[in-house]
Structure 1
């Protein structure tokens, strides 16, 4: 397998980037020679569907296989070699060294352009017992096959998932779908660590509702067992038993090949690329989980391993190999995850990211139904917006809800990409009919609430500690039926519709903080008090709902 041609493209790795680049190059250049090496069994598969295949939601294994070596050859004339690993890049001679993992033979392959599509690798801690049978990771179709076989052969009744990130939660959902008891372990102090902690409250409720035991702030120390893993020991000293164990701790870029070739790595540990997705060697491209990306908000380099981004980058590389100068500007890290009836989504910066970068920002919360309240089946969603204090640009959002979350996070992601201010986002013309939305869509409601904060019309506080620091009187303006479910510590209850009549009960010399269920009625109360001469008034942003979210995740 040696030789050269006018435009010979060698691709290292398949799946989204590798197969995508091959297809795009062929569509643009019928004469190109395209060679793809994949060290695994399958060259193009839907890795995001693997948890659902394990759980039986996806019943047909072949549905995961998007292309085979044969289909890529027939349709795109790509020479695919599975079970072949590229072990070395010789940049001076423009060739790679390859080993056939079946028979051990080694050879060189020349290239004009080289594409690194090796992706990421699971983080597997070097712990005692980590190699025992019954411990799994989930990245490939054979990984999923092994899990399904183990579940059947061992009659698995109890599974332990280590890591409460996106993959971990998807596996938890699918194992519970099979009727398996699940324990979820996370070293961080929250599930879904990329999210701001309070936004995960509904997920904690749903995990508990579905019988999942969640252990937070506790890392793993070792696995125990004779012929197979039977328990995992935690830093707290606790031992957790199980019939199978899955590591969903996270992934890291598989940078070894690039590093050994002297290619520049970025601050995130992934391969550094320019906007045309070239590495420090202009004849070598990299994309997907192995490559670093620029975040569109902070313009800093990040490691953002998301499938949608990999597919877009594959298109850009394919075009540029064929002579174009297309660019990949960056990413927002837009992501979504479902567990049971709860969906969480995010885009842009989280508050913890903005705080760590010392950015000046404002936060706003709103809660509203995913469609008109009078139309049957409306489900609430809570939207958290992050806004740049000076420019009023929307710089991040997170949503927790049951229905319609995907649509709203995509609208906000589009707004951030288009550099819309919160005032501009509030004026978006979005589709409305009672089965689909409200006359004021949840995104519009969120933007309007944030607009009041940004223009100074409403002063807000976020936490009860801020209320205490102000020495403020806390007023609950909800209805009596709502107060029956609880009231915030130290609050006095004056329903909104009684506020004007009971204004004499207000000590105008003291600061006051008003709250309702979600923040809308307390905004009305805020304006009433201000209009009646109470000078120092604040709205508790997000109201009772957000305070309960904070309490559950404290």
Structure 2
């Protein structure tokens, strides 16, 4: 008898799970139906700011696989504009609203993958639902924002406010500057990018100001003025900022309403709780992607981190296991990278504040260096910060802010964090050297050596 797999969500996690299950089980053995409530599937949400900014020529460039590839080549019944509205675990079926056909029906399952992703934080404030206030979560969001920016004169937007100074907010600020708008950025934090230590975030704020962005930090948005149903200004406790459009970059939270209503266990992060194989506590129900909580390998605590890298790996693990193989997702160390103006920004592991919260006593070291040998053309400045455990010297986290060629060094540091290396051990790493790529002492090695020296001076001292 053919087994039935239903996947809720048609992006990274859901379709990775479906594809891996199909690779191991043929259509006669496993029927796969994937539901996606939007108009697009299998796309790069991380590319939306670059679509808006014009670096990507069109929405089609962000689509990894077209729907017909899943249907015709992989025998995965991918149904767009089909929203799952209920999971009935007793009935072993999901309720589906087909928005295109205007009908509702039940689809049975033997195995279920919940890959509902994340929901953007939208403030519950006056005017937040006005026209011209955009989230930046789905490809549909990006297309809608792009259409607004391409409105013919005289209705084309001239000013924009970005609310939120995380990765997406900062990338959107740069994209809107590229489009020729007067851009303001508002965030309640004292520095942008709360995933960095404040001293590193200050470099990012300076870069934004250098691009012409008006940066208002330490100010909380209190509402949005509208006229004729469209936004015209954003209000904080200190000012009124004119806005023809607003981009919300306030981050996301796990979309777990369906799972929670069905009785699937939810963790303290509000993400779906799974084991390392991506199984929930409910038999035959799996979960992956931005809707789940995962395990931080340094803090040893559950976290909910919305990244496509995690979603793809988690979906892959779920699909392999459904297909009869064995795979696991052990956890994360919080590695992320972004480009803000001319700066590359990267981090891994814990920040100083996160390390303290996890119970570590830390030492930190900041090193100024260059991306190449100083005499080689194109050498650019970069700043590397390492955070280590005071007593053991174990690397707990790292951050990099620099120009072209800086950020990908975070991968070396991520491997060191993953394997719980000490900064002393790191000083002996055999890293590559040639003047076009690095100084003779790579910034990673300089930072490790300086941090090891500080640990030796301070370690164990009360």
Report if TM-score (shorter chain) is over 0.5: yes
> How high is the TM-score relative to the length of structure 2?
0.95
Q: How big is the shift at 1:447?
A: 0.6
Unaligned runs of 5+ in 1: 461-554
Residue 296 of structure 1 contacts residue 417 of structure 1 at CA under 8 Å; is this kept in 2? yes
Q: How big is the shift at 1:458?
A: 9.9
Task: Note if 1:234 corresponds to 2:244.
Answer: no
Distance 1:372 1:323, change over 3 A: same
Distance of 1:191 and 1:282 partners within structure 2: 43
- 1:120 pairs, out of 110, 115, 118, with 118
Which residue of structure 2 aligns with residue 463 of structure 1?
none
Q: How big is the shift at 1:299?
A: 1.3
Q: Which has the higher contact order (CA 8 A, sep 6+)?
A: 2
Structure (1 or 2) with the larger CA radius of gyration: 1
Distance of 1:198 and 1:190 partners within structure 2: 8
Task: Note if 1:380 corresponds to 2:381.
Answer: yes
Q: Secondary structure at the match of 1:182?
A: strand
Distance of 2:446 and 2:49 partners within structure 1: 35
Q: Secondary structure at the match of 2:129?
A: coil
Deviations 1:400-432 (A, max 9, x none): 111222321000001111221111111111111
Task: Note if 1:410 corresponds to 2:416.
Answer: no
Distance of 1:288 and 1:406 partners within structure 2: 25
Q: How big is the shift at 1:457?
A: 8.0
> How high is the TM-score relative to the length of structure 1?
0.80
Deviations 1:507-538 (A, max 9, x none): xxxxxxxxxxxxxxxxxxxxxxxxxxxxxxxx
Which residue of structure 2 aligns with residue 89 of structure 1?
87
Distance 1:422 1:282, change over 3 A: farther
Distance of 1:95 and 1:431 partners within structure 2: 54
Which residue of structure 2 aligns with residue 551 of structure 1?
none
Unaligned runs of 5+ in 2: none
Deviations 1:297-329 (A, max 9, x none): 111000111111111111111111122332110
Which residue of structure 2 aligns with residue 523 of structure 1?
none
Which residue of structure 2 aligns with residue 358 of structure 1?
359
Q: How big is the shift at 1:350?
A: 0.6
Matches within 5 A, 1:452-531: 452-456=453-457
Distance of 1:455 and 1:444 partners within structure 2: 16
Q: Secondary structure at the match of 2:231?
A: coil
Residue 392 of structure 2 contacts residue 459 of structure 2 at CA under 8 Å; is this kept in 1? no
Deviations 1:36-91 (A, max 9, x none): 00111012111111111111110132111222321211221100111111111111
Q: Which moved more, 1:366-375 or 1:284-293?
A: 366-375
- 1:38 pairs, out of 32, 36, 41, with 36
Distance of 1:458 and 1:109 partners within structure 2: 60
Which residue of structure 2 aligns with residue 329 of structure 1?
330
Matches within 5 A, 1:148-547: 148-153=146-151, 154-227=155-228, 228-236=230-238, 238-456=239-457
Q: How big is the shift at 1:288?
A: 0.8
Distance of 1:106 and 1:71 partners within structure 2: 26
Counting matched residue pairs gives 455
- 1:24 pairs, out of 20, 33, 38, with 20
Residue 14 of structure 2 contacts residue 288 of structure 2 at CA under 8 Å; is this kept in 1? no
Which residue of structure 1 aligns with residue 70 of structure 2?
72
Q: How big is the shift at 1:371?
A: 1.4
Residue 206 of structure 1 contacts residue 340 of structure 1 at CA under 8 Å; is this kept in 2? yes
Which residue of structure 1 aligns with residue 10 of structure 2?
14
Q: How big is the shift at 1:266?
A: 0.7
Q: How big is the shift at 1:450?
A: 0.8
Q: How big is the shift at 1:369?
A: 1.2
Which residue of structure 1 aligns with residue 96 of structure 2?
98
Deviations 1:75-115 (A, max 9, x none): 21100111111111111222111111234322111112100
